[in-house]
A and B are shown apart, each in its own frame.
Chain A
């Protein structure tokens, strides 16, 4: 079940028998007297139960912590990445704003977030903050997820 915990995937393999199943789709819980509020998912093949990240607050938090830790060790963003994936402290070259809604695209362009420009990523949560020239601009993740970036030749953490 650790695979599911890390990735939060819909289809998970049972840790005991290897049977792959969707914890959300199993109908075992409906017939279980302890089903209500239970955070375990039972394998429909062998009945082995393991934590279901989508039902457990603790497991969800653990998954989030694991993702954060993984993010800290993450290499510089790959060429197909978005600004939301850039690590704080890294430098990124803006590649495209095609996916950004027109109104916000105009705003970002006016602030200098334009294809080819290099920005310093200062923060990504709760909102993305980048530095262009000496100006700092904050915007939401909905926008940073729509901004395509490429790592510059001298990219990576400053």
Chain B
């Protein structure tokens, strides 16, 4: 008898019997959960099923939290997109999200999304999901790629052998997606088909006798627990005494002569192998194409570096030259500087009788002339070009290859190449990247990468401003900035790796095939990120501007500038006006950088001062939003430690650089 909660209590089947299909479930499913390996198209499918777009990309770990949307076909059923899971037990924080979701007791159906090119691997996870006894549908996605790779799948035979509905889809094109809702509606509660060695079956029987009501099939919970899943362990510990669990496991493992997880894996693998042998055929593999050759080149120990240099050059040209140079020049000088702002200033001054209100809108610290102009004329063109280039990179599948090339580099920081993914994402937005640290395996690695993100990874907006200013000075200025920031990041990372206890985990990462990005997805993703940018950044820029306006009108700004003079003018060697930029830099460092950009454009910053100012503001904490995310992800104590470390360090490094540049005669 399966003692599952909710509508599953209607099912009178033995979860332990390995044959036949159950009757379709009565009642209504509250949720349809999309589960599967990383990078198999779950998020694309989620978009197709719900009409809601979530960020999709060609690398594992794009989704680190669950997304919910209402199914367009399933009479109000909620579809849940989950982070990829390699297998149970869950290892990283994003995988634990899946484990927790499946065990939380809600009634739901599971749709496993798998790669049609890797059926055997997919089935090893299928076995684990089927054992949970929930209504289940297997969707083999990317079936077009499977056909191209010579993989022939007998769908009906596969369905028959597994005892669950099997569908073939191409989510990006929408092929086969319309069948999913119907298949889920008619899906029976899945039944486990793998019979394990006797000691494991005995342990499961013992658990079955002792455990009460379970959120999914008791057999599934027991198998997760025997496999070492932490969530299942926590769940069972709430129901059963610890000594009983320990005794059950010890007895099974003693009889097996090995850890239960190993025996489980072997049995599942053998089962998957048998099923694949009957239902899947591999025809002759086609010859490698240009993309496969490029993929090899990008991870080659020698050629990988020129490829990386070419990618960086493309990013520099797009963001630094095109975005920060030409587009900003066009918008700031021509559109805003010569047309929009003079026209608006003139209009507001004539229409609004109050000088105070007119100043608030179009004065020196005006909401439009400063806040909106910075956001729209300075930052927007830069982030637009960056998001466009970044989306192309994401969808091409290059980013995991970057992890391979940079692995040795991260080794010196006590990390592995996987850390490159959140670090590169940090160039887009540090707030989002702080969430992506969930794909890293240990708490130590997540902490180290979060610290480096908070310290020295400039987000796209700031990167563009920095490249815009320093690029106009000289290549040497850009190299000094990059060298100092990189040196600080590496020094802090190296030191932190030796202070934070724990061991480095070796790199294991799946490399998706290189693909030509789909323009529609690149554009959708870019527009979605721009929308997010405008929603998050514009209000903060307006708040920062209003803050400066109030300080200015109340006479506090000159006092603040005077107060900061020993630090900003004395220690950093910058003009007093730079203090205002640093004040708003505490709110968002790209806002501060934009203020410094304007100072430089007005000729108030020398070459040496520009380099010092850019280094100092780059080493600031990115923004308030990122601090909040770091508090949520790493806790208040660690976040406070980071903030208390980063700000003084930024000013310390800036001041030392000022002394060094003056001593070296830079810019003189």
Residues on A lying within 8 angstroms of B by beta carbon are 102-104, 106-112, 114, 122-123, 125-127, 129, 132-140, 142-143
Q: By CB atoms of chain A within 10 A, which of B117, B400, B508 has the most?
A: B508
Q: Give chain B residues whose Cβ lies under 8 Å from the Cβ of A102.
A: 259
Given A125-B301, A136-B511, output 20 extra A-B contacts at Cβ < 8 Å.
Answer: A104-B506, A106-B91, A109-B265, A109-B269, A110-B86, A114-B266, A123-B299, A126-B301, A126-B405, A126-B407, A129-B511, A132-B121, A134-B117, A134-B118, A137-B510, A138-B508, A139-B507, A139-B509, A143-B506, A143-B508
Tell me the nearest residue of chain B to A88, going by C-beta. Answer: B296
Q: A103-B91, A123-B296, A126-B404 are in contact. Are A133 and B121 (CB under 8 A)?
A: yes
Q: A106-B87, A123-B300, A127-B407 are in contact. Are A137 and B265 (CB under 8 A)?
A: no
On whether the beta carbons of A110 and B87 are closer than 8 Å, the reply is yes
CB distance from B661 to the nearest CB of A (A): 34
Q: Mark B143-163, 1 if CB is under 8 A from A, else 0.
A: 000100101000000000000
Between-chain CB contacts (< 8 Å), 13 pairs: A109-B87, A111-B86, A112-B120, A112-B124, A123-B300, A125-B301, A126-B404, A126-B405, A133-B120, A137-B508, A137-B509, A139-B508, A140-B508
Tell me the nearest residue of chain B to A107, going by C-beta. Answer: B508
CB distance from A143 to the nearest CB of B (A): 6
On whether the beta carbons of A140 and B124 are closer than 8 Å, the reply is no
B445 on the A face (CB < 8 A): no
Q: By CB atoms of chain A within 10 A, which of B405, B509, B513 has the most?
A: B509
Q: By CB atoms of chain B within 10 A, which of A114, A125, A126 has the most?
A: A126
In the complex, chain B residues 428-448 whose Cβ is within 8 Å of any chain A Cβ: 441
B408 on the A face (CB < 8 A): yes
Complex alpha-carbon distance, A29 and B89, angstroms = 57
Contact of B269 among A114, A126, A127, A133 (CB under 8 A): A114
Complex alpha-carbon distance, A43 and B117, angstroms = 61
Contact of B151 among A134, A137, A138 (CB under 8 A): A134
Q: Give chain B residues whose Cβ lies under 8 Å from the Cβ of A129.
A: 299, 404, 511
Tell me the nearest residue of chain B to A137, going by C-beta. Answer: B510
B115 on the A face (CB < 8 A): yes
B416 on the A face (CB < 8 A): yes
Contact of A135 among B121, B265, B417 (CB under 8 A): B121
CB distance from A92 to the nearest CB of B (A): 17
Q: Give chain B residues whose Cβ lies under 8 Å from the Cβ of A134.
A: 115, 117-118, 146, 149, 151
On whether the beta carbons of A104 and B408 are closer than 8 Å, the reply is no
CB distance from B509 to the nearest CB of A (A): 5
CB distance from B118 to the nearest CB of A (A): 4
Q: Give chain B residues whose Cβ lies under 8 Å from the Cβ of A103.
A: 91, 441, 505
Tell me the nearest residue of chain A to B295, going by C-beta. Answer: A136
On whether the beta carbons of B121 and A127 are closer than 8 Å, the reply is no
Q: Give chain A residues whose Cβ lies under 8 Å from the Cβ of B407.
A: 126-127, 140
Q: Mark B299-310, 1 if CB is under 8 A from A, else 0.
A: 111001000000
On whether the beta carbons of B506 and A138 are closer than 8 Å, the reply is no
Tell me the nearest residue of chain A to B417, going by C-beta. Answer: A127
B652 on the A face (CB < 8 A): no
Contact of B91 among A107, A109, A112, A138 (CB under 8 A): A107
On whether the beta carbons of A127 and B404 are closer than 8 Å, the reply is yes
Tell me the nearest residue of chain A to B401, going by C-beta. Answer: A138
B183 on the A face (CB < 8 A): no
Contact of B509 among A112, A126, A138 (CB under 8 A): A138
B103 on the A face (CB < 8 A): no
Q: Give chain A residues whose Cβ lies under 8 Å from the Cβ of B403.
A: 138
Complex alpha-carbon distance, A114 and B118, angstroms = 15
Complex alpha-carbon distance, A154 and B259, angstroms = 33
By Cβ-Cβ distance, the 10 closest A-B pairs, closest first, are A110-B87, A134-B117, A136-B511, A140-B506, A133-B118, A110-B86, A139-B508, A126-B301, A125-B301, A112-B121
Complex alpha-carbon distance, A49 and B288, angstroms = 52
On whether the beta carbons of A108 and B508 are closer than 8 Å, the reply is yes
On whether the beta carbons of A135 and B124 are closer than 8 Å, the reply is no
Q: Mark B473-517, 1 if CB is under 8 A from A, else 0.
A: 000000000000000000000000000000001111111010000
Q: Give chain B residues whose Cβ lies under 8 Å from the Cβ of A138.
A: 299, 400, 403-404, 507-511
Q: Mark B58-92, 1 if CB is under 8 A from A, else 0.
A: 00000000000000000000000000001101010
In the complex, chain B residues 405-438 whose Cβ is within 8 Å of any chain A Cβ: 405, 407-408, 416-417
Complex alpha-carbon distance, A81 and B342, angstroms = 75
Q: A107-B86, A126-B404, A132-B121 are in contact. Are A139 and B296 (CB under 8 A)?
A: no
Complex alpha-carbon distance, A139 and B86, angstroms = 15
Q: Give chain A residues whose Cβ lies under 8 Å from the Cβ of B275.
A: none
Complex alpha-carbon distance, A109 and B125, angstroms = 11
CB distance from B113 to the nearest CB of A (A): 15
B261 on the A face (CB < 8 A): yes
Q: Give chain A residues whose Cβ lies under 8 Å from the Cβ of B119.
A: 133
CB distance from A64 to the nearest CB of B (A): 12
